[in-house]
Amino acid sequence: MWNISKRDERKWKCFVCGTEHLSYSDFKEHIVAEHDEGRDYVKCPLSRCNAPVRDVRSHFKTIHPNDQIPKTCQLKALIWRDHTGRKKKKVEFNDGYFTSIKNDGMKFHYRSGYELAVYEQLEQLDEVSKFHGESFKIPYFFNGKEHNYIPDVSIQFSDGRVEIWEIKPATQTTFAKNQAKWKAAAAYCATRGWKFEVYTETGINKLKKKVRDQNILKG
């Protein structure tokens, strides 16, 4: 485990946004409160540490060389941001824009292969009339502070239904911050007669099957 006194001898710069903190505890609290676990950072899986890091393997090599990394943990943050001006390290995730004919040529920014897959299926589903990406904010509380959550996609169906979807790997569904976001989103949607859903790999595969079945019936 890192030596706490040595941690606090220097300034700690957030590797996501670049803000500086005078102590490790402030640095850790900032990252957990302001950034997304799984996307912007991952936690060291050792309960005695739980440090927010970008790469678990590098962290273990430096800080816990005698420990083994649990097989079930997420090893890297999905997005590595560079606020220093230096060359970015190559990031292993899909990032780009999807052009939707259904939405009059609108371009949707996707930050993962999962998001792209959902956009592609929504484009093909006949029962979907329109969809929009990251179109509004929902306030929620986490660790005693108010934040804003922006759902991934809102969907309008031809029968009048409205659904709000969050797209996440199954490994990120148990994170406390995500749970706080989704609880607030479910309540927000319920008051408006909408449905809130979290789509993981399982849901995306079902969505793809639904599109295939639809296309088979259409011949």
- pLDDT per position as a tens digit, 129-172: 999 998 899 999 998 889 999 999 999 999 999 999 999 989 88
> Using CA atoms in the order 199, 205, 211, 213, what is the torsion angle rounded to 10 degrees?
-130
DSSP annotation of 129 reads E
Measure the N-to-C terminal CA separation of the chain; round to a whole number of Å.
Answer: 61
d(CA 30, CA 80): 17
d(CA 95, CA 52): 23
Region of 159 on the Ramachandran plot (φ > 0 left; ψ -120 to 50 alpha; else beta): alpha
> What pLDDT, on a 0 to 100 scale, did the predictor assign at position 8?
45
Structure tokens at 149: 């959550």
Residues 50, 43: contact at Cβ < 8 Å?
yes
Long-range contacts of range 174-178, CB-CB < 8 Å, 24 or more positions apart?
Answer: 175/37, 175/38, 176/142, 177/32, 177/36, 177/37, 177/142, 178/36, 178/37, 178/38
Q: Is the pLDDT of residue 50 over 60?
A: yes
Structure tokens at 73: 């943990």
Q: Is the pLDDT of residue 11 over 50?
A: yes
Of the pLDDT bands very low, low, confident and very high (cuts 50, 70, 90), residue 77 is confident
Fold of the domain built from segment(s) 96-218: Trna Endonuclease; Chain: A, domain 1 (3.40.1350)
Do the bridges between strand 128-133 and strand 106-110 make them parallel or antiparallel, or are there none, so unpaired?
A: unpaired
Average pLDDT over residues 39-52: 91
Model pTM score:
0.72
Q: Is the pLDDT of residue 17 over 70?
A: yes
Of the pLDDT bands very low, low, confident and very high (cuts 50, 70, 90), residue 182 is very high
Count of C-beta atoms within a 10 Å radius of residue 15: 20
Structure tokens at 83: 């606020």
Q: Is the pLDDT of residue 108 over 60?
A: yes
> What pLDDT, on a 0 to 100 scale, did the predictor assign at position 82?
61
DSSP annotation of 104 reads T
Q: Where in the chain is the domain with CATH 3.40.1350.10?
A: 96-218
d(CA 124, CA 74): 32
Q: Is the pLDDT of residue 85 over 50?
A: no
Torsion over CA: 103, 119, 200, 140 (sign) = negative
